[in-house]
Amino acid sequence: MDNQSLISLYRKMLLVRVFEDKSAEMYTKARIAGFLHLTNGQEAIAVGAMSALNADDDLFTHYRDHGYAILKGASPESVMAELFGRATGTTGGRGGSMHLIHMDTNYWGGYAIVGGHLTLASGVAAANQFHGNGRVVTCVMGDGSTNIGTFHAALNWAQLWKLPIIFLVENNQFAMGTTIRNHSALPDVYRKADGYGMAAEQVDGNDVLAVHDVIARAAARGRAGEGPTLVEAVTYRHRGHSMADPDVQRDKAEIADWKKRDPIHRFANEVLLKRGIASPQDLEEISAEVEARVDKAAEFAENSPEPALDTLYKHIYMEPVSNMQVGGSLIRPPQIGARVASSEGENGRQ
């Protein structure tokens, strides 16, 4: 990889980190509601993986998706606006933080039902295979998603049909508050591929270059018609499961220990500075640029309008459906201003 590309990896990881910090701030300022899952500490996986794939390769992710959306090309403005629930967001405020999307580059969305998207991603891979278009799908999930039925159904089917897909597990060692040893009979997630005769690799998820290499190999395998790969990237999240998680259950020493292995600092120290690719001043300049970029996104979101109420029924069906009014029960005109927003109420800590 040339120096420019290496610096770009750094810039991207930092952009994701700074974006997350800004969204945390906006959450505490009550600009963002509901569930907000941040990826601090896990940035090397998204950045390494996306750097190894073609721009039009397909992507599905779970709800920890802000970084992926931005890396796939959604503007930080449109992502922050979506978090704010504004008309200018990636889905016009319909999906929120957990359901970002960017179809210009085949980012098929963030999904909030654990394991729900593994089958959909496999279906997109099946269509790629059917059309022979050479695209490879990456399907991102957490370690907790490797115990649900769709994981096993999707892996079996993908291997059976040799689908061009990479199942990428961000193993941050927790599913909400439950450690992997307490939720998975087999804590070495990549070995779950053995049950399906599928290729698998485990990688240090805090090493952006290592992730890049593993994903590049898996993509080549998919494109060559050799079928899917299960990739387990081992990492740790710096924050709680979501902004609703006070993070009391994890061991403080363990958190501190993993923060020493921060993927961004590590890449800066062990690669960029050590090899003389960038100076400390260069990195500071990048940091200032990124901060300004993210500030602009927050400002944009703040100044964006809420979605218009009369769009509420749009896209339930692709074409307007006749007879919807008949019976009175299927489509009612929205009661403009009749209800008080209820999103600030008690809504759990997922």
Ligand X SMILES: Cc1ncc(C[n+]2csc(CCOP(=O)(O)OP(=O)(O)O)c2C)c(N)n1
Site for ligand X in 223-282 (CB under 6 A): 241
Bridge-based pairing of strands 137-142 and 107-111 is: unpaired
Site for another protein in 276-335 (CB under 8 A): 314-319, 321-324, 326-330
Q: Is 112 in the site for ligand X (CB under 6 A)?
A: yes
* C-beta neighbour count of 116 within 10 angstroms: 15
- Nearer to another protein by Cβ, of 223 and 296: the residue is 223
- Nearer to another protein by Cβ, of 137 and 208: the residue is 137
Q: Is 196 in the site for another protein (CB under 8 A)?
A: no
Q: Which of residues 143, 201, 232, 245 is near ligand X by CB under 6 A? A: 143
- Nearer to ligand X by Cβ, of 93 and 144: the residue is 144
User: Which DSSP string corresponds to 86-117?
Assistant: -TTSTTTTSSGGGG--BGGGTEEEEE-STTHH
As a whole number of Å, the CA-based R_g of the chain is: 21
Residue whose C-alpha is closest to residue 138's, from 33, 244, 31, 65:
65
Q: Which of residues 1, 55, 56, 103 is near another protein by CB under 8 A? A: 103
- DSSP reduced 3-state for 171: strand
Q: Which of residues 91, 119, 287, 350 is near ligand X by CB under 6 A? A: 350
- Nearer to another protein by Cβ, of 99 and 296: the residue is 99
Distance between CA atoms of 332 and 309, rounded to whole angstroms? 13
The count of residues interacting with another protein (CB under 8 A) is 49
3-state helix, strand, coil in the chain (%, to 5): 45, 10, 40
Q: Is 55 in the site for another protein (CB under 8 A)?
A: no
Which segment (112-120, 239-247, 272-280, 342-350) binds another protein by CB under 8 A?
A: 112-120
Q: Is 157 in the site for another protein (CB under 8 A)?
A: yes
Burial class (CB in 10 A: 0-12, 13-18, 19+), 213: middle
Which positions touch ligand X (CB under 6 A)? 64, 112-114, 141-145, 170, 172, 174-176, 241, 350
